[in-house]
Structure 1
């Protein structure tokens, strides 16, 4: 066999996106906050761009290219006045564990008990339970059994009620006593019969405790008021503030789309740089440099404007299609796909997808992510209802059912036919589970 080297030419067709096209795609999918950040980066990296804040417009035309940063710092006369506000805004919120320690130290206990309590709080897991056995703790920290028992009881006095318990039964027992709801029967139920209650073995529980179904029902009403779940997070919860891109407003009795100009800054090119391009004293290399950056800035402005116009167009399509939903609620949500909107506006589906993802619309019914309005449909004799509308109907049926005789999925299927909604029992079950609703047997109440 002969082996050697050979040189061949092959033609291959590939597609590469230019930097400008990549920027156009990225800008389309940015939220307002992300776009503000991107614009700030552009301002820093592009020497011909200047920045206009909502409440302050410096006269950049007075300054040359080389002292732009100096001028910006010089114009910010109120920087020192803002220091206190920034400090206040950066105060760290207490974590759940820190809050427990604050409560503990407020008790003004003996130093020994204070230390033991601190160690116990350190052993409370994220579900609010003590995750160390008393014997193990006693041996590890050289604490007497009686002292430990007394300290655990003190820790269990902290808020929320039930914190520091060893199991669910003890948590519910603490809450019963804290609220002064405790009775011998109730204590017996939460300590010895939680499993039977969870499996709805009501007749067995009544027989063992020698009580009637009515008495058990009264006890269950109280137990259902207790809080079985406690979360102890390591970090404070961050509040997420959603800024809508558009809102639905009423103008002369008609619902209209209004774009929200909510940027904290606006970019612009000062006329100073335009003048440099026609200045005969400026060399060609400098003009080429300025022209390049001005073209980049103009392309960015175009992409930002295109993003705005596409958001308005898609929001207008949503309003037209989902007018009844906005006026009357979820049961009037209609089937709507991104392809339909793309075809109507002569856009690509990927463009529509990028626009609606992470962008919010403020409506008279509340705040919704724009992609929420896109849903698969259910064919009916009158119109195509969206899956959201059908789920809303199922939720409504279950909410209004007789809890002693809850509706089966088959019965729900039959009820939906009254609204001209024809779906299978399996689809009813799928939608019910997606709503987090239990089946009929598990929804049954006393």
Structure 2
């Protein structure tokens, strides 16, 4: 074999990840809320793009007939007249505009109540504000009395007196130093703090969580039924009284697709009502046709127009892909839409990819973080992709339908003799579903259902 160095010419074919292709892939995997944010960012970076918000905020400049250099009708077909508009109507109603938002923080709520307390000295008010400022988001006190004493140069006894007053503020249980104190404050407020339930809260919370009622009954000297009654009462208390005033941002779900039943058939509609219109600023378009414009300015505007063109194409491609994928899902899961979750069929992304003629990774991006509104509720698109379990008849059953069946069996069980995982496995086998005990336990935990020992009632 002749070994040596040389120059050789060779033809190869490969896919190049261009910025336009990367943009199309990114837009495809965006949810509606993320897409709105992305379009606003693009409008900020690209002066050629103008957005007309779905709520009716009209852009300042109107789009005229495009010039010969950029043919927008060719880009978006019959839908375009110089703009890309996914809007189905001019209805400006947005239900999220009518959702109330709590603006009062826990600190403000307690400070407002402090203003009604009479007889406090200036030092005591200073202590109270210091303690209120050191509550965490759950409403618990984060500093010890000794630390507060050193910081405020006050006696620990005086700080504790102020703390006792704060612990009677609303919400009940606020300013507690631990979980036990928080629960005891709520029991005192309800006048239910008898000796036995106080012993349970102070010394047996872990046993209570593990449903070890027999051990608790032996320790405090009462019946198991009495312990269970106390456990039911304790579980009605709020272990995080300050959470109602948390400032955590609420994330809303806007369905990307709607499935409606019209005349006995299911129709798929892409929900673009919340997406703003994409327009082209006619001022920059006119600059391209002016002879006195500088070459550098023309080139800049031309590049920005091309970027806007690719953005419009990517938006249209996203819409068509979501439409095709959802239509394929509806066709395969027709029994689910007609009869309910128990008839959800096993389905994989590969099956949908073969059905619509796309790559499996495209299906994954198209269904990621997307929600569909159906006559049976709002579901994530990935909800319809479930693994298969074999049945006695040789057919397959969806794991999601099996989970629902497990939940139904547990809800109908005798609480004094709850069904074990093995018993659930045997009951499902009689219904034709072959499933192991370990799989039943896994599905039960995913449903956040405790074990049979913790579900038992006495």
Q: Distance in 1 between matches of 2:163 and 2:307?
A: 66
2:191 to 180, 184, 188: 180
Match of 2:354 in 1: 343
Match of 2:107 in 1: 97
- RMSD after superposition: 3.7
1:364-403 aligned at under 5 Å gives the runs: 364-380=375-391, 381=393, 383-403=395-415
Q: Distance in 1 between matches of 2:43 and 2:344?
A: 43
Match of 1:438 in 2: 450
Match of 1:332 in 2: 343
Q: Distance in 2 between matches of 1:90 and 1:9?
A: 71
Is residue 2:27 matched to residue 1:35? no
Q: Distance in 2 between matches of 1:239 and 1:229?
A: 18
SS at match of 1:433: helix
2:158 to 128, 147, 154: 147
1:405 to 388, 399, 417: 417
Q: Distance in 2 between matches of 1:233 and 1:19?
A: 45
Is residue 2:169 matched to residue 1:166? no
Q: Distance in 2 between matches of 1:307 and 1:260?
A: 12
1:107 to 102, 111, 117: 117
Report the CA distance shift for 1:382/1:256 in structure 2 as closer, same or farther (over 3 A). Answer: farther
Query: Does the 8 Å CA contact 2:171/2:242 hold for their aligned counterparts?
Result: no
What is the Cα deviation at residue 410 of structure 1? 0.7
Q: Which moved more, 1:353-362 or 1:142-151?
A: 142-151
Q: Distance in 2 between matches of 1:287 and 1:120?
A: 64
What is the Cα deviation at residue 342 of structure 1? 0.6
Query: Does the 8 Å CA contact 2:140/2:176 hold for their aligned counterparts?
Result: yes
What is the Cα deviation at residue 403 of structure 1? 2.1
Match of 2:276 in 1: 265
Q: Distance in 2 between matches of 1:270 and 1:130?
A: 56
1:111-260 aligned at under 5 Å gives the runs: 111-230=122-241, 236-260=247-271
2:328 to 314, 317, 322: 317
What is the Cα deviation at residue 237 of structure 1? 2.0
Query: Does the 8 Å CA contact 1:248/1:363 hold for their aligned counterparts?
Result: yes
Q: Distance in 1 between matches of 2:41 and 2:223?
A: 72
What is the Cα deviation at residue 284 of structure 1? 11
Q: Distance in 1 between matches of 2:180 and 2:100?
A: 40
Query: Does the 8 Å CA contact 1:48/1:290 hold for their aligned counterparts?
Result: yes
Q: Distance in 2 between matches of 1:192 and 1:117?
A: 30
Q: Which runs of 5+ in 2 are unaligned?
A: 68-98
Q: Distance in 1 between matches of 2:23 and 2:274?
A: 19
Q: Which runs of 5+ in 1 are unaligned?
A: 1-5, 65-88
Structure 2 length-normalised TM: 0.78
Q: Distance in 2 between matches of 1:103 and 1:423?
A: 57
What is the Cα deviation at residue 177 of structure 1? 1.4
What is the Cα deviation at residue 253 of structure 1? 3.5
Match of 2:74 in 1: none
Match of 1:68 in 2: none
Report the CA distance shift for 1:387/1:290 in structure 2 as closer, same or farther (over 3 A). Answer: same
Match of 1:59 in 2: 62
- 1:81-125 Cα distance to aligned partner (Å, 9 max, x none): xxxxxxxx9999233334333333343443222211222223334
